Amino acid sequence: MSQELKDAVKAWEEASHANASLGAADTEPDGVFQWCLRQAVQGEEVEVPNSASAWQLYTGMAGSAKAARELTKHLKRCIRIINKTPHGQFNEVREYLESYIWRC
């Protein structure tokens, strides 16, 4: 399994926790993240959230737009890694994500 994907997921989690005061560590943004990962691993087109409201952050708080951009950056990295995974390694990626994705 690609350590690169594990590292990218961990980076998203770290960004989420770093922006917890803006709601980024709540269940809603995590659900959005997991839903996007599920779509990507299933080969579906992913509508990547790029705003505080799309991530379901606290939109009335200063810094929420910046937090959304950071979450989006890390999600896009995860999607790129999933999409470039060689066919022979894809089952490992799918198994990893199936164990990680539990909200959707």
| Model confidence pLDDT, tens digit, residues 23-34 | 999 999 999 999
The whole-angstrom separation of Cα 24 and Cα 34 is: 13
Give percent of the chain with pLDDT exceeding 70: 98
Predicted confidence (pLDDT) per residue in 46-88, tens digit = 999 999 999 999 999 999 999 999 999 999 999 999 999 999 9
Asked whether the predicted pLDDT for residue 103 surpasses 80, the reply is no
Position 84 scores a pLDDT of: 96
Task: Please list, residue by residue across 52-77, b when 16 or more beta carbons sit within 10 angstroms of its beta carbon and e when fewer do.
Answer: bebbbbbeeeeebbebbebbbebbeb
CA–CA gap between residue 49 and residue 62 (Å, rounded): 19
